[in-house]
C-alpha cells in the first residue's frame, strides 16, 4: 500500500494519477503502516514506520538540509531527465543535487535529479520535481508538439514503479491491457466530405482537381506517388461530370470501402450534425471553409448501414466545444438520425478550450476524443490511456494519437507512405510496452482519389493485428477503461492480493475483455488474468 502526502489542491490529480497507475494507495493516515510513503511538495511524516519514503519536490525544502540533502540549483525552464534509456520531459520547477552513484535520474548537464539516503531501516529517495504538478500540466494544457513522440505520463508511472520495485517492495497493479491482448487499437473516421457532388465547384473541388492532376504527376516524378495512384486519380477526374449527373457512383462515398478494409473490426464514424455552419472560434467566427457541405440528415441511409454493421456514430462537433446549448443540439441531431442513445464527440478541426470538457459533460456527451495534434502524431496529454479530465466527474477523454492528415499534409509532417508507416510503428511499439490504446483517425476521403491513403491504412491494420491488438471502437474502448476504473483491490479476504486481487463494482457481463492483474518484483513481472 502506498500512502500519499500532498496538498489538498493536488488531491484530484493524485486520484486521477492512481486511476492510470492502478495500484493500491490511499491518502496518508497517521498511525497506519505503509510499504511506501510518497510525499509531493510536502514534508515526510515524523514517524518513520515505512521502508521507503519518496519525496517529490521541485523546490528546496527546509527538511532537505536537516537530513543532509544539498540542493545545488533550482530551475523552472523545461528540461529532459534521463532514466533507464528514456528521456522524461519536465515542464515545471525542478531542483538538482550533487551527483551520486548510481545516478538513476540525471539532467542534460549530468547532474542528479534524484538522491538516495538511508536513515536506519528507512530508505529515502529525494526526487527533484513535483510529480503531480507535472501530471496536472499533461492532463490540462498538454505537451508541445516538439515532444509529441514521448508518452511522458507513462514514463512517470514507469519510473515510480521501478523506484518502488528496486527497493524490494512488490508492486501490484491492474495494467491498461485487456486480458489476452497487448493493447487496444481504436479505429475512428472523421466524416468531412462524404460526397463530392455536394461541393459543386467550391474550393474543395478545385483543390481536388489540382492535386489529382498536376499534384499527382509531380508526386510521381518525386517518387511520392505510384503510377497506379496517378491513373486512379486521373480516372476520377474524368468521372467527375458523370458523378454530378448521377450516372456513376460518387467516389468519395467510402463507407462500404471502410467496412471491407477493416474486416469486421468495429470502428467509429464522427459525423457533422448540420451543414453550412462554420461555427465559432474562441473569439469571432471560424473561417467559412470550416463549414461542411452536408449534415447527418443528408447521409441518413449510409448512417443506417453503418449502424447495421456494428459501427458507432459519434458527433463531429461544430460549436459543442464552446457552448452547452450548441453541444446539446448537436448531440440530439446525431441521436435522432442514428438512433444512438449515447454519443461521444470529436470536434471538427480539433477546436477545444479550457472549459470544453465540462461543457460537453454538461450537455450529456459520453466521452470526448479531441485531445491530439493537427500538425503531428503522438501524445498531447502524454498518455496511452483514456483518462478523466480534472474538471469533469463522469466524462472521459479518449486521446487522439494518429491522424492521417498530420502524417501526409505538406504543411505538417509531409511524410512519404513508408515514412508514415515507420512513424506509426513507433507508436505501436510504445503501446506494446505500456499497454493502453492507439486512437487512429483516418478521414472519409483519405481512401479515395486524390489522397489514395488506403494502402497505408491497410498496412497499419495488418501491423496492429500482428502485434496483438484488441480492436474496439471508441465507445467500446472507453467502456473498457470505465470497467478498469471500477475495479478495486480487495484485501479483506485474507487470502492475499495474488489469490483474490480485484473486486469489481457494477455489471461484469459487458462483452468486453477481462482485466489483468500484474505483480512486479524488481525486474520480474507476473500477469494474472482477472475475469472481471
For residue range 354-391, list pLDDT tens digits in order. 999 999 999 999 999 999 999 999 999 999 999 999 99
Output the CA torsion 158→148→397→389 (10° steps). Answer: 70
Kindly state whether residues 301 and 438 are assigned to the same domain: yes
Beta strand 515-521 with 524-530 is antiparallel
Round to whole Å and give the CA distance between 269 and 262: 13
* Average pLDDT of the residues in 95-117: 63
Assign residue 162 the CATH number of its domain: 3.40.50
Whether omega before 465 lies within 30 degrees of 0, making that bond cis, reads: no
The answer to the question of residue 516 being in a domain is no
Q: In the structure grid, which three cell numbers stand for residue 302, read together?
A: 449510409
pLDDT digits over 233-244, tens only? 999 999 999 999
8 Å CB contact between 92 and 129: yes
Lowest mean pLDDT among 380-384, 434-438, 501-505: 501-505
Q: Which residues, at least 6 apart from 232, have a Cβ–Cβ distance to it below 8 Å?
A: 449, 452
Instruction: Return the DSSP state at 520.
Output: E
Nearest to 402 by CA among 442, 367, 459, 430: 442
Kindly state whether residues 265 and 244 are assigned to the same domain: no
Assign residue 387 the CATH number of its domain: 3.20.20.370
Q: Name 80's bridge partners.
A: 89
Higher pLDDT, 87 or 103: 87
Q: Is it the case that residue 52 has pLDDT exceeding 80? A: yes
List Cα–Cα distances, 113 to 122, 134, 136, 317, 332, in angstroms: 20, 15, 20, 44, 51
Highest mean pLDDT among 23-32, 160-169, 464-473: 464-473
Q: Is it the case that residue 419 has pLDDT exceeding 90? A: yes
Round to whole Å and give the CA distance between 215 and 449: 12
Element spanning 66, H or E: helix 62-66
Kindly state whether residues 158 and 234 are assigned to the same domain: no
The answer to the question of residue 54 being in a domain is yes
Output the CA torsion 89→354→357→321 (10° steps). Answer: -120
Kindly state whether residues 261 and 228 are assigned to the same domain: no
8 Å CB contact between 89 and 96: no
The answer to the question of residue 452 being in a domain is yes
Round to whole Å and give the CA distance between 421 and 431: 15
Q: Which residues, at least 6 apart from 447, have a Cβ–Cβ distance to it below 8 Å?
A: 254, 257, 258, 261, 453, 454, 457
Residue 84 is part of which domain span? 2-169
Phi, psi at 318, each rounded to 5°: -100, -65
Kindly state whether residues 294 and 232 are assigned to the same domain: no
Q: Is it the case that residue 407 has pLDDT exceeding 60? A: yes
Residue 521 CA, distance from chain mean position: 28
Strand segments, DSSP code E, in 108-149 are 114-119, 122-127
8 Å CB contact between 93 and 131: no
Element spanning 524, H or E: strand 524-530
Q: Is it the case that residue 456 has pLDDT exceeding 90? A: yes
Q: Name 89's bridge partners.
A: 80
Domain count, the chain: 3
Q: Which of 452, 479, 506 is the last residue of a domain?
A: 479
Phi, psi at 309, each rounded to 5°: -85, 0
Round to whole Å and give the CA distance between 351 and 171: 40
The answer to the question of residue 520 being in a domain is no
Kindly state whether residues 216 and 281 are assigned to the same domain: no
Nearest to 279 by CA among 339, 236, 322: 322
List Cα–Cα distances, 127 to 19, 124, 155, 470, in angstroms: 22, 10, 15, 37
Q: How confident is the model at residue 464 (pLDDT cuts 50, 70, 90)?
A: very high
Q: What is the CA radius of gyration of the chain?
A: 25
Kindly state whether residues 411 and 452 are assigned to the same domain: yes
* Average pLDDT of the residues in 214-234: 95
Q: What is the largest CA-CA distance in the chain?
A: 86
The answer to the question of residue 13 being in a domain is yes
CA angle 321, 324, 330 (to 5 degrees): 75
Kindly state whether residues 366 and 438 are assigned to the same domain: yes
Kindly state whether residues 88 and 63 are assigned to the same domain: yes
Q: Is it the case that residue 435 has pLDDT exceeding 60? A: yes
The answer to the question of residue 527 being in a domain is no
Lowest mean pLDDT among 110-124, 255-269, 365-379: 110-124
Kindly state whether residues 107 and 188 are assigned to the same domain: no
The answer to the question of residue 489 being in a domain is no
pLDDT digits over 8-19, tens only? 999 999 999 999
Q: Name 313's bridge partners.
A: 269
Kindly state whether residues 331 and 348 are assigned to the same domain: yes
Nearest to 350 by CA among 372, 334, 319, 382: 372
Q: Is it the case that residue 82 has pLDDT exceeding 80? A: no
Number of H helices, E strands in the chain: 15, 24
3-state helix/strand/coil string of 317-351 = ECCCCCCHHHHHHHHHHHHHHHCCCCCCEEEHHHC
Q: At what angle do helices 324-338 and 356-363 cross, to 10 degrees?
A: 50
Lowest mean pLDDT among 12-26, 83-97, 512-526: 512-526
Q: Name 106's bridge partners.
A: 82, 112
Q: What is the pTM of this model?
A: 0.93
8 Å CB contact between 143 and 150: yes
Mean pLDDT computed over every residue of the chain: 89
Q: What is the pLDDT of residue 504?
A: 55
Kindly state whether residues 148 and 206 are assigned to the same domain: no
The answer to the question of residue 499 being in a domain is no
Nearest to 344 by CA among 362, 324, 356, 360: 360
* Average pLDDT of the residues in 81-100: 80
| Count of CB atoms situated within 10 Å of the CB of 429 | 11
Strand segments, DSSP code E, in 281-425 are 312-317, 345-347, 367-368, 396-397, 402-403
Amino acid at each position: 500500500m502506498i500512502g500519499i502526502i500532498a496538498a489538498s489542491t493536488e488531491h484530484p490529480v493524485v486520484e486521477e494519477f492512481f486511476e492510470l497507475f492502478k495500484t493500491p494507495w490511499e491518502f496518508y493516515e497517521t498511525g497506519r503502516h505503509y510499504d511506501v510513503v510518497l510525499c509531493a511538495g510536502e514534508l515526510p511524516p515524523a514517524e518513520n514506520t515505512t521502508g521507503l519514503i519518496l519525496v517529490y519536490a521541485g523546490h528546496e525544502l527546509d527538511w532537505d538540509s536537516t537530513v543532509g540533502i544539498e540542493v545545488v540549483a533550482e530551475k523552472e525552464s523545461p528540461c529532459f531527465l534521463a532514466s533507464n534509456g528514456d528521456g522524461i520531459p519536465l515542464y515545471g520547477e525542478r531542483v538538482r543535487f550533487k551527483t551520486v552513484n548510481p545516478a538513476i535520474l540525471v539532467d542534460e548537464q549530468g547532474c542528479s535529479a534524484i538522491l538516495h539516503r538511508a536513515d536506519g531501516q528507512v530508505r529515502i529517495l529525494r526526487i527533484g520535481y513535483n510529480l503531480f504538478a507535472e501530471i496536472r500540466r499533461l492532463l490540462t494544457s498538454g505537451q508541445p508538439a516538439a515532444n509529441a513522440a514521448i508518452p511522458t505520463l507513462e514514463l512517470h508511472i514507469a519510473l515510480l514503479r521501478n523506484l518502488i520495485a528496486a527497493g524490494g517492495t512488490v508492486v501490484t497493479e491492474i495494467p491498461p491491457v485487456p486480458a489476452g491482448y497487448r493493447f487496444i487499437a481504436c479505429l475512428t473516421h472523421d466524416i468531412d466530405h462524404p460526397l463530392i457532388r455536394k461541393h459543386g465547384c467550391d474550393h474543395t473541388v478545385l483543390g481536388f482537381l489540382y492535386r489529382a492532376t498536376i499534384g499527382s504527376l509531380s508526386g510521381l516524378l518525386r517518387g511520392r506517388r505510384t503510377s497506379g495512384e496517378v491513373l486512379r486519380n486521373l480516372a476520377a477526374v474524368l468521372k467527375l461530370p458523370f458523378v454530378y449527373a448521377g450516372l456513376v457512383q460518387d467516389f468519395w462515398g467510402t463507407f462500404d470501402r471502410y467496412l471491407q478494409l477493416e474486416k469486421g473490426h468495429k470502428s467509429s464514424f464522427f459525423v457533422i450534425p448540420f451543414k453550412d455552419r462554420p461555427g465559432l472560434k474562441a473569439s469571432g467566427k471560424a473561417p467559412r471553409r470550416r463549414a461542411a457541405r452536408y449534415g447527418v440528415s443528408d447521409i441518413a441511409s449510409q448512417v443506417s448501414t453503418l449502424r447495421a454493421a456494428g459501427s458507432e456514430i459519434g458527433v463531429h462537433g461544430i460549436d459543442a466545444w464552446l457552448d452547452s446549448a450548441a453541444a446539446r443540439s448537436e448531440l440530439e441531431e446525431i441521436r435522432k438520425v442514428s438512433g444512438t442513445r449515447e454519443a461521444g464527440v470529436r470536434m471538427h478541426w480539433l477546436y477545444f478550450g479550457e472549459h470544453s470538457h465540462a461543457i460537453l459533460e454538461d450537455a450529456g456527451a459520453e466521452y470526448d476524443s479531441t485531445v491530439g495534434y493537427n500538425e503531428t502524431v503522438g501524445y498531447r496529454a502524454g498518455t496511452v490511456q483514456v483518462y478523466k479530465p480534472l474538471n469533469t466527474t463522469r466524462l472521459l477523454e479518449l486521446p487522439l494519437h494518429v491522424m492521417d492528415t498530420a502524417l501526409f499534409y505538406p504543411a505538417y509532417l509531409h511524410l512519404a507512405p513508408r515514412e508514415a508507416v515507420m512513424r506509426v510503428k513507433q507508436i505501436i511499439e510504445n503501446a506494446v510496452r505500456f499497454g493502453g490504446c492507439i486512437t487512429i483517425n483516418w478521414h472519409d476521403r483519405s481512401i479515395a482519389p486524390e489522397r489514395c491513403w488506403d494502402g497505408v491504412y491497410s498496412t497499419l491494420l495488418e501491423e496492429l493485428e500482428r502485434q496483438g491488438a484488441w480492436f474496439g471502437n471508441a465507445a467500446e474502448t472507453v467502456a473498457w477503461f470505465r470497467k478498469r476504473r471500477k475495479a478495486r483491490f480487495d484485501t479483506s479476504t485474507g487470502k492475499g492480493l495474488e489469490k483474490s486481487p480485484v473486486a469489481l463494482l457494477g455489471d461484469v457481463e459487458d462483452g468486453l475483455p477481462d482485466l489483468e492483474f500484474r505483480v512486479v518484483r524488481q525486474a520480474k513481472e507476473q500477469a494474472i488474468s482477472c475475469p472481471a
